[in-house]
Amino acid sequence: MDEFSLCPISHLLNLPDKEPAKSKGDQSLTTQSGLSRDSVSQYLQLRPDQSVLILHAKVAQKSYGNEKRFFCPPPCVYLSGLGWKLRQDHLKASGFGDSSCRVCGYMGLDNTGSAQVDTFKLTFEDQPGGKRFACAKALYISDADKRKHFRLVLKLFFSNGQEIGSFYSRLIKVISKPSQKKQSMKNADRSKVSLFNRLRSQTVSTRYLAVEGGAFVASARQWAAFTVTLVDEQQTEQGEYSLREGYVCYGCVLQLICTVTGVALPPMADPCQKDPGRELLNDGSCWTIIGTETVEYTFSESLACLQTAVTPIPVISTLELNGGGHVAMLEIHGESFGPHLKVWFGNVEAETMFRTPKSMLCVVPDVSVFSGEWRWLRRPITVPLSLIRLDGLIYSSNFTFTYTPEHTPPAQPTAAPECPADSDSLIDSIHQEFTRTNFHLFMQS
C-alpha cells in the first residue's frame, strides 16, 4: 500500500442531488451511454463481471521437421463470472435460441508475418461454480517460425457469430530443448509453476497436477498454477506448518499452494527408513516442474450497448498522485488506454484526460461527493477504481482509493470569523476553511 499526504485540496467536484446540465461537447458517460450513479452503484453491488483466465507455460519447445511438439502443459482457458449467464439470457430474450448463445473460441499463435498459422478450436465444458473450461491440446510452433518470442491469441465469440474479442497471453519464450543448466540464485523468483508426471517417458501417459473439489488430482487435460512455499520442519501445536523465507534447497520442506483455490498439499520431505539422509521416491513421485504464467481479463457488459468487441481491455498497473493545493490529479499507468475511457471513483465519474496508450490523468473527486459532509474524525471512505468505456462497458480493477480524515482538531484562526447564525453553520464554516480537504490519500491494489 502506498501512502500519500495531501494538504489541502479544494472542493473539485461538488455534485448536488440533481446533476448539472452539461454542454453539447461534453464527453461524459452520463450523457452518451445513459449511465447514472444509481446504475453504476447497482453494478458495484452485484458485480456481474465476465472474466477470461488464460494459463500457459513460460517457454515452448520448437518442433523440427514433421514432428509436432505440443505445448506442455497445454494452454488452458477458464470463463467465470455472473456476467456470462446474464449476457446469454439477454441474447435469448432478444430472440436467439440456445444453440446461438453458446460461447465458442479458437486459440493460436499471434501472427506477425504473412504465413498462415494453425488454430485450435476450443470446446468449453461446464465446471463447478459456474465456470467453463477449455484447453488447446494440439498447439505447437514449427522451425519455420523464426521468432524468439510469441504470444497466444484467444478469439471468443457467440455461436450466433457475434464477436466477443481477442485476448492475448503473456510473452512466451521459444527454446530448442529444455535447459539442463542449474538456475542461479540471482535469477530465482517466486513465480507460479505447474507439475506433470510422465510414466516411462510416454507422452500419452502425461498427467498434470490439478485441483478438483478441494482435492489434488492427476488430470490428462486440466492443470493448476502453484506457488512453491518453504515451511518450517516443525509443526505447530495445531498440527500446522508455518511459512518461512529462504531459497529452495535439497532436503527443504515444501508446500504447493494452488493460486486459484488456495488448497495446499501436505509438506513433502519423506525420508528413507534405511538412510535418513536420503528421500524415498518412486516413479509416480517424480514430477517435472515448469514455470507458468496466468493472465486474467475482466469486463462487464451489464450496462453497455455494445457495437464493437470488448477488447483491447485496459489494465491498470500503478497509480501516482500529482499536484496539491487546489488541484489533485491521479496519474494512471497501464496498458491499452484510449480517449474512449473514463475513470470512475466508485459511482462518480472523474474528469479524465487521455495522454498515451500507457498513461491517463484524472481529477480526484472531492470526498464530499461520497459522504455528503466531511467533518473531523469521520470514518475513512474507500471506493473502487474502474474504467468505463463510452458505450457503458465496465472494466473493473484491483485498485481502490481511500479518503482518510485527519485525526487532529483544526487550528483556530488568528482572527475570529463572523459568527454564523447557529452552531451547525459555525461547524460547517470551520470545516470548510480548515478540515474539509485535509485528508490523506491511500491507494492499494
For residue 20, the tally of other CB atoms under 10 A from its CB is 7
Give the number of C-alpha atoms closer than 13 A to the C-alpha of residue 49, restricted to the C-beta side: 18
State how far the Cα of 431 lies from the Cα of 145, in Å rounded to an integer: 67
Q: Lowest mean pLDDT: which of 45-59, 139-153, 175-189, 224-238?
A: 175-189
C-alpha distance from residue 210 to each of 123, 139, 219, 254, 263 (Å)? 19, 20, 6, 17, 10
**Reduced DSSP (H G I as helix, E B as strand, rest coil) percent helix, strand, coil of the chain, to 5:** 15, 40, 50
pLDDT in tens, 409-427: 555 555 555 555 555 555 4
Q: What is the pLDDT of residue 181?
A: 60
Q: What is the pLDDT of residue 180?
A: 62
Number of H helices, E strands in the chain: 5, 27
Nearest to 399 by CA among 333, 337, 353, 341: 333
Average pLDDT for 360-382: 79
pLDDT of 30 over the 80 cut: no
Q: 117 pLDDT band (50/70/90 cuts)? A: low
Q: What is the pLDDT of residue 202?
A: 63
State how far the Cα of 303 lies from the Cα of 349, in Å rounded to an integer: 15
- Cβ-count burial 166-191 (b if 16+ within 10 Å, e if not): bbbbeebebeeeeeeeeeeeeeeeee
Q: 141 pLDDT band (50/70/90 cuts)? A: very high
Q: Lowest mean pLDDT: which of 133-147, 177-191, 364-378?
A: 177-191
State how far the Cα of 351 lies from the Cα of 12, in Å rounded to an integer: 10
Nearest to 343 by CA among 297, 303, 302, 383: 383
Q: 71 pLDDT band (50/70/90 cuts)? A: very high
State how far the Cα of 180 lies from the Cα of 157, in Å rounded to an integer: 41
Q: What is the pLDDT of residue 379?
A: 78
Q: What is the pLDDT of residue 136?
A: 95
Q: 250 pLDDT band (50/70/90 cuts)? A: confident
**pTM for the whole structure:** 0.78
Average pLDDT for 48-60: 96
Q: 230 pLDDT band (50/70/90 cuts)? A: confident
Percent of the chain with pLDDT over 70: 71
State how far the Cα of 40 lies from the Cα of 26, in Å rounded to an integer: 19
Higher pLDDT, 398 or 436: 398
Q: What is the pLDDT of residue 440?
A: 41
Q: 285: exposed, middle or buried (C-beta count within 10 Å: 0-12, 13-18, 19+)?
A: exposed
Q: 294 pLDDT band (50/70/90 cuts)? A: very high
Please provide the average confidence, as pLDDT, over all residues in the chain. 79
Q: What is the pLDDT of residue 248?
A: 75
For residue 73, say if its preceding peptide bond is cis, omega within 30 degrees of 0. Answer: yes
Higher pLDDT, 8 or 199: 199
Percent of the chain with pLDDT over 90: 45
State how far the Cα of 96 lies from the Cα of 70, in Å rounded to an integer: 37
**C-beta separation of 241 from 230 below 8 A:** no
For residue 271, say if its preceding peptide bond is cis, omega within 30 degrees of 0. Answer: no
**C-beta separation of 384 from 397 below 8 A:** yes
pLDDT in tens, 97-115: 888 899 999 999 998 654 5
pLDDT in tens, 5-25: 333 322 222 233 334 334 343
